[in-house]
Structure 1
Amino acid sequence: MTENDLLWLPARELVELQRRREVSAREILDAHLAQIDAVNPKVNAIITLAEDRARELAARADAAAARGELLGPLHGLPVAHKDLAPTKGIRTTYGSPLYADHVPDHDALVVEQLVHAGAVTVGKTNVPEFGAGIQSTNELFGPTRNPYDLSLTAGGSSGGAAAAVATGMVALADGGDTGGSLRNPATFCNVVGLRPSVGSVPMWPAKDPFAPLSIQGPLGRTVDDVALQMAVLTRADPRSPWALGDPSRFHAGLEDDFSDVPVAWSPDLGGQLAVDDAVRTAMAPVPEALAGITRRAGVAAPDMSGADEAFRTLRGWYRALNYGDRYAAHPEAFGIRVRQDIENGLATTSAGLMRAHKLRGLLFQRFAEFTREYRYLVTVTTQVLPWSAEQLWPERIGHTRSENYLDCMRSMYWFTVLGVPALSVPAGFTADGLPVGVQIIGRSGDDLGVLRLARQIERTLGAGRRRPAVALPVMGSGTDDARVTGGGTGSAPVTG
């Protein structure tokens, strides 16, 4: 087995190889560190490398394996943590100049959970400032670039995490999602990202531990890799009121029969969404794939009216709660994206907040009625394709001009408001070789069902097996080919 083989094996297979003592955690880590050296300068996904910490954790994993033990479900797997999650002894900047040299004295719960399960921390992944943006760029580190075309964005706010997973620099990564920050970069980078149900993943630290808008979750190259992480991330913790479910259900397997399960398909939610023509075209194989999975596939969409106002009001309010004090002290240190959010939140009235919650309640009731007829909804993940890495947001969505970065996120944040599980899985490619994902939304608490349907779609369409050329060994003369340096088709078919 070569170092390159170790980069692309599913997570469970890597753990099993270590259990059988056929490969060590150190060997797996060395392969991934070599990939980081080769690829990260091109994509700028990992902005803080923690090699010493990684080697300590890999040695710990190997010592346990020598005793005939595994540390947990993620034994010896290289992972990277989003730069919004505090990491003890490892620089955490939140993408802000205010925290350029900040080194926390504690780990976020998501980091604790992954490391406790045997994962090997290799570093931190790039984000927009305080996570406010659909483009992972900031004044400290610049933009993360799309592995399939280096001139374009990898998305955000978990863009660094998605790009690192897509290029084989880490086996798994954690991220966070408020308006689509797990799902958007997943579709742009051709990986799997799950925004779990509210109440499934505990979060700490948090200014408001009951806040229902933002949630942490997993990124992986396959649906099974994401399910494996969910078995770790959903474990209850007394510092959080959430995660009261049974994590063991995610070990139950992803095989299921959907032949008699009603599934709705709508690429634009019945005309409620503006969607680029290129995205629609790339999604053309999806209806046929669904018809092969269930005989009860139909075309339908829930009424999402009120979702825009509810989300934008609540998002602004929570931004002001989390960052308002720092903004008051250092307004000059904040970029336009997070500044707009905070100012909107500070301007929110009690009447506006009450109206947002009322709209949210009505929306949830309508969606609950919709899912009595259709168990799952399948739609686009993103309304647009990746745009220039130098722009904060795309200028247009279809024929509609964008006023701010939230405008192209409606396909995702409308479902954030509901608190339901929403997952992006690779679905296809444009003629120019850019990946497009499909979004699966289920009933509240049915995260496992969403994963199981996603596994069927993943198997049927097979788009996730196509790797970016920038991540693959260059054959021949040893010089980069045109696909690696950006522009044009930036992917190559790889099976397995």
Structure 2
Amino acid sequence: MAADLSLIEKSATDILRLLKKDEVSPLDLLDTLEARISAVDGHVNALPTLCFDRARKHAKALMKRPKEGRGLLMGIPVPIKDLTDVAGVRSTQGSPIFANHIPETSNILVENLEAKGGIIYAKSNTPEFGAGANTFNEVFGRTLNPYNTKLSAAGSSGGAAVALATGQAWLAHGSDMGGSLRNPASFCGIVGMRPSPGRVASTPGTKIDATLGIEGPMARTVADLALLLDAMSGDDHRDPRSLPAPKRGFRAALRSAWKPARVAYSPDLGITPVDPEVKEITRRAAERFAAAGVIVEEAHPDFSEVHECFGVLRAYAFAVTKAELLRTHRDQLKPEVIWNIEKGMQLTMEQLARAEAQRQTMLQRTLKFFDSYDLILTPATIVAAYPVEQRYVAECDGFTFPDYVQWLSIAYALTTVSCPALSLPCGFTKDGRPVGLQIAARPHGEDQVLIGAKMLEDILSLDTVRPIDPRG
């Protein structure tokens, strides 16, 4: 079977059904993706590194197994974000320092995905070391928003989001610290989820107990995202943070009878300005929950310490993981990364202890909040897509941010308290830019997030299954 471009308009769950019935093969899917990438990626620069020879080798080996031994994904291709190593494939982290790095071993996450039947065929573009929510770097250049190629795709999982939105992927891997799964999902009209820390096993970095930066799934629909999260979930002895897979899978959770009874909407979590149009679009979407008999009230936990707390913990993470690069390759690092490393190296023990105490206090407030509400809903990002030349959002609704990170606080507040959070497409601005609604639950509450998101996805009836061609 040659490339069949009609396949790109199908959901990942539809593709899985076709694989189970032998109506398509993993090789057919790779042929289709290669043709689609050839047609559109030159306009958006989402997947700068391709590894189709490696992918076909893995697909042929998978096809020799009986169907019941092909894993949950059964040969569905998945691109990996370029912060994560894939054995034998150029893995740059978006940095000139690693521009020619080819790792000998894969990240645990990649090994586990391949064991579940995922076929790795590409690396998706990311900003240098994932820093800054705009996907550009000195190795591969800018990734462009497919809804308007003059605009940012956000980041840091920008390449993954654009690949999904343009039909160059059915499922995609991403990662998230300050919203890096949720921001590009919001800007590109797809679904991106930050799970609870430990839900997805990955190779630990320098700080083996890190819980701010985590791996997660991206897709065009909630059901597809649940499929990939099922494939990603599970413990691994090499990652001491990792959690066992839940007894009931996430796809099964979508078929359960549970539904939220009471949800909170907050336009700003009390901590950030928000573009008025984004605020109105997300408020209208949240209020649609009432159509399913769900009580919607305006409320949020107290996150008043989050800017100081997250700023310190993020800087500490940069110092722990990147201080040696600052000493040896300073001239090859972008200024935002240098600023974050230096900030971390100047921290005192008093500042670190205060930040940890603030995090614990905010977590306790958040847990109490979820005694009253099943979910909290907010804008996923405080603005819609902005000009790609703009490195980050410096100002919003008359407020000027003190650094390149604080515009992300509506996402990083939930990171700080370890809540699973998802960005769901919920509408468009008057000039056609996608807007995402953030949906979050208490820690380990991925089931509730996915069920709530699927309910609202059905109510809103936004057609995100079919990808778009890049628009100038």
Q: TM-score, normalised by structure 2?
A: 0.96
| Residue 345 of structure 1: how far off its partner (Å) | 0.5
- In structure 2, distance between residues paired with 1:360 and 1:284: 28
Aligned to 1:376: 375
With over 3 angstroms needed to count, the CA separation of the structure-2 counterparts of 1:75 and 1:68, relative to structure 1, is closer
- In structure 2, distance between residues paired with 1:388 and 1:28: 34
Task: Specify the code of the residue in structure 2 equivalent to 1:101.
Answer: N
With over 3 angstroms needed to count, the CA separation of the structure-2 counterparts of 1:464 and 1:337, relative to structure 1, is farther
Aligned to 1:315: 314
Contact 1:384 1:408 in 2 (8 A): no
- In structure 2, distance between residues paired with 1:453 and 1:278: 23
Instruction: Deviation per CA, 1:271-291: give whole Å up to 9, x if none.
Output: 432001221233243133111
Task: Specify the code of the residue in structure 1 equivalent to 2:80.
Answer: H
Aligned to 2:292: 293
| Residue 41 of structure 1: how far off its partner (Å) | 0.5
Instruction: Deviation per CA, 1:448-473: give whole Å up to 9, x if none.
Output: 111111111111112352756425xx
Structure 1 ranges of 4+ moved more than 4 A = 256-260
Aligned to 2:164: 165
Mapping for residues 325-364 of structure 1, pairs under 5 Å: 325-364=324-363
Contact 2:167 2:468 in 1 (8 A): no
Percent identity over the alignment is: 39
- In structure 2, distance between residues paired with 1:349 and 1:68: 56
Question: Which range moves more in the overlay, 253-262 or 95-104?
Answer: 253-262
Q: Number of aligned residue pairs: give it.
A: 470
- In structure 2, distance between residues paired with 1:79 and 1:457: 26
Instruction: Deviation per CA, 1:132-176: give whole Å up to 9, x if none.
Output: 110010011111000111000101000001111111101111111
Aligned to 1:55: 56
Q: Which runs of 5 or more structure 1 residues have no equivalent in the other structure?
A: 472-483, 487-496
Aligned to 1:264: 264
Instruction: Deviation per CA, 1:291-334: give whole Å up to 9, x if none.
Output: 11333221111111111111010000011100111111121111
| Residue 362 of structure 1: how far off its partner (Å) | 0.6
Aligned to 1:475: none
Aligned to 2:36: 35
SS in structure 1 at match of 2:150: strand
- In structure 2, distance between residues paired with 1:260 and 1:411: 22
- In structure 1, distance between residues paired with 2:229 and 2:455: 18
SS in structure 2 at match of 1:79: strand
1:437 aligns with 2:436: yes
- In structure 1, distance between residues paired with 2:43 and 2:417: 37
RMSD of aligned alpha carbons: 1.7
Aligned to 2:12: 11
Contact 2:221 2:465 in 1 (8 A): no
| Residue 8 of structure 1: how far off its partner (Å) | 2.5
Aligned to 1:385: 384
- In structure 2, distance between residues paired with 1:166 and 1:134: 18
Contact 2:63 2:70 in 1 (8 A): no
Aligned to 1:476: none
- In structure 1, distance between residues paired with 2:317 and 2:260: 41
| Residue 13 of structure 1: how far off its partner (Å) | 1.9
SS in structure 1 at match of 2:357: helix
SS in structure 1 at match of 2:370: helix
Contact 2:274 2:383 in 1 (8 A): yes
Task: Specify the code of the residue in structure 2 equivalent to 1:368.
Answer: L
SS in structure 1 at match of 2:179: coil
Task: Specify the code of the residue in structure 2 equivalent to 1:264.
Answer: A
Instruction: Deviation per CA, 1:324-379: give whole Å up to 9, x if none.
Output: 11111121111011111111100111000000001101101111111111121011
Aligned to 1:183: 182
Task: Specify the code of the residue in structure 1 equivalent to 2:457.
Answer: E
Contact 1:88 1:103 in 2 (8 A): yes
SS in structure 2 at match of 1:297: strand
Instruction: Deviation per CA, 1:410-444: give whole Å up to 9, x if none.
Output: 11001110011011111111111110000011011
1:404 aligns with 2:403: yes
